[in-house]
Structure 1
Amino acid sequence: MRLILTDIDRTILPYGMRSVPRRTREAMRGAISRGCAVGPCTGRALAWASILFDGDDECVSTCIATNGLQVYHAGEKVLEKTIPAECVRRMAALVSELPHAGLVYFDDAQPLLCAGTAEDLTAAFPRYGKICEPAGLPAHDVVKVNAFVAGDDAQTRELARLLSHELPELDFDVPQTGFTNIMPKGWNKGAAALYLRDYLGVAPEDVFVFGDAENDLTMLEAVENSVAVSNATPAAAEAARWHIGACEDLAVADAIDALSRGEFPFER
């Protein structure tokens, strides 16, 4: 056990909770105290991840943020990739032609709405919609950009399909109904996890990752010891090598504690 990475939403953050439970944070700090690099691997920016950990900097000092576009270790950024401003402009023009769709980019934890309405963003991602600010198109490349639609799963996937067709230099995935992640082609949570593994000089068998959803698939597929919580989507469960209990039961915290004790908590 040298590197542990975990998704946040519905993996260690139960639905409806505003911060990662203290019990999980304690398990992460315990593994860190034993020399293991531990942190979130999330679609959120580091500033927002820190909010979800109640400002516990130790738990996010190692972090893969914005679906792999930013990688941190020991509190320092060791890698950053961006979405070109010209691509943001093209996406904004496309979503503006679609009913109830829009585009939001971020300045740290602040969502900036450059296409669509705050009402539709609130329907797709309530926490972002409530605090978003209207903004023009960015004049510079940006790290975190999301397309959204106030619609069902089929509409969300159609939005991702359309954007993928029109912008083949980018990748898109659907972490939840109404919301679409955007990454440079070929770069994602899985690529970032392997980058961090190699940056730290960790052997493949000493890396553990935990996830629950489609935006975790690249991470679950890239890492040998991949683990899905029991509430994972069918695709995530199939991609994972190991399986544990539910997010709501703090199963990841139990697994991290067991690994810290030198136990192997997964069925072989």
Structure 2
Amino acid sequence: MFKAIALDLDGTLTNSEKKVSERNKKALQEAIKRGVSIILASGRPTYGMSEVWEALDLERLGGYVLSYNGSLCMDCKTKEVLFEKTIPWKYYAPIAQAVREADLGLLSYQGKEIVTERPEFPYMDRESTINKMPFRKVGDFPNALSEEVCKLLALGEHEDLIPLKERLEKEYGEELSIFFSEPFFLEICPVGVDKGESLKRLLEKKGWKREELMAFGDGGNDLTMLEYSGKGIAMANSQKHVLEIADEITLSNDEDGVAVMVEKYILNNT
């Protein structure tokens, strides 16, 4: 019997219009009624996930958010932060300089805003639209941040980001977690932070076993989550390497793939 369902958002729970379908919503809310906890796990900032947890009514029904790829864990009902890990200050200036030298974009999040030196840079608008967060253009990125952040995001064409990734891994690979969530998004997070590790930490707090966890994902930042869970399910629209490691493949995010599996393994089995 599954006690929890972990869900990536973009390309997984939400459709191409970034909405939660009625069938997905109904299936997950019915699972909650049967004692299953919902965990939203995304690379998005916490505020950028609010529309989804509100659509599922998790503030009332209860559930958990793993934002910034697991750097922060919050209880949806109480808004209590269960754990959080940030990037130390000393890395911001050299990373920002490396991104400038590569002529790429860099952003992070403060409150309800996206902070960046280059809001007009390609793919920036995508991040703003997904999270429904406006830009705050700044002259000096590191000095514009008022507190340590959970994630930095470098943006650009994949072939341009690869040398940056190699450079950052060479200089900070022991101290930071650096990976692609999309071909055009290079994520920089605190070391040891990923969706799988954060789920492990949450499950230990709750006293759940990994065999009792079902997880859904489609992207590179979902790999650890799918591998850790008792049943890791990839969407049909997943990246190739995600499809290869999944326990099972469901329909795409535009075909209610989440609901199909929740109905199969939880609603029709209890």
Partner of 1:118: 119
Instruction: Quote how far apart the aligned CAs of 1:127 are.
Output: 4.0
TM-score for the superposition, normalised by structure 2: 0.87
Cα drift, residue 7 of structure 1:
0.6
| Pairing 1:207–2:210 present | no
Shift of 1:124: 4.9
Task: Report the alpha carbon displacement of residue 261 of structure 1 after superposing the two structures with TM.
Answer: 2.0
Q: What is the CA distance between 1:125 and its match in structure 2? A: 4.8
CA–CA distance in structure 2, aligned partners of residues 3 and 124 of structure 1: 33
Name which of 134, 137, 143 aligns with 1:134.
137
Candidates 138, 148, 152, aligned match of 2:155: 148
Q: CA deviation at 1:57?
A: 4.2
Structure 2 Cα separation of the partners of residues 133 and 233 of structure 1: 32
- The question of whether the paired residues in 1 share the 8 Å contact of 2:64 and 2:76 is answered with yes
Unaligned runs of 5+ in 2: none
What secondary structure does 1:118 align onto?
A: coil
CA distance 1:125–1:172, shift in 2 (3 Å):
farther
**Distance (whole Å) between structure 2 residues aligned to residue 165 and residue 81 of structure 1:** 22
Aligned match of 1:104 in 97, 104, 107?
Answer: 107
8 Å contact from structure 2 (residues 7, 13) kept in 1:
yes
**Residue in 2 that maps onto 1:166:** 171
Q: Root-mean-square deviation (CA), in Å?
A: 2.2
Residue correspondence of structure 1 range 63-74 to structure 2 within 5 A: 63-74=65-76
- Alignment partners' CA distance in 1, 2:94 and 2:260: 45
CA distance in 2, matches of 1:206, 1:38: 12
Change (3 A) 1:139 1:86: farther
Match of 1:93 in 2: 97
Deviations 1:18-46 (A, max 9, x none): 32223212222111121111131100122
Return the alpha-carbon distance in structure 2 between the equivalents of residues 58 and 85 of structure 1.
33
Range with bigger deviation, 66-75 or 188-197: 66-75
Aligned pairs for 1:227-246 (under 5 A) are 227-246=233-252
Matched, 1:179 2:181: no
- Find the aligned partners of 1:235 and 1:19 in 2 and give their Cα distance: 25
Contact 1:46-1:108 at 8 Å conserved across structures? no
Q: CA deviation at 1:155?
A: 1.9
**Distance of aligned partners of 1:209 and 1:108 in 2 relative to their CA distance in 1, 3 Å threshold:** farther
Whole-angstrom CA distance in 2 between matches of 1:191 and 1:23: 30
Taking structure 1 as the reference length, what is the TM-score of the superposition? Answer: 0.87
Partner of 1:10: 11
Q: Is the 8 A contact 2:112 2:134 kept in 1?
A: no
Provide the identity percentage. 24
- Indicate yes or no: 2:84 matched with 1:80: yes
Tell me, in whole angstroms, the C-alpha distance in 2 between the residues paired with 1:208 and 1:123: 31
- 2:226 corresponds to which of 220, 231, 237: 220
Contact 1:124 1:177 in 2 (8 A): no
**Residues matched between the structures, number:** 257
- Mean Cα deviation higher: 2-11 or 221-230: 221-230
Supply the distance in 2 between the matched residues of 1:36 and 1:52 (Cα, whole angstroms). 18
Q: Which amino acid aligns with 1:35?
A: G
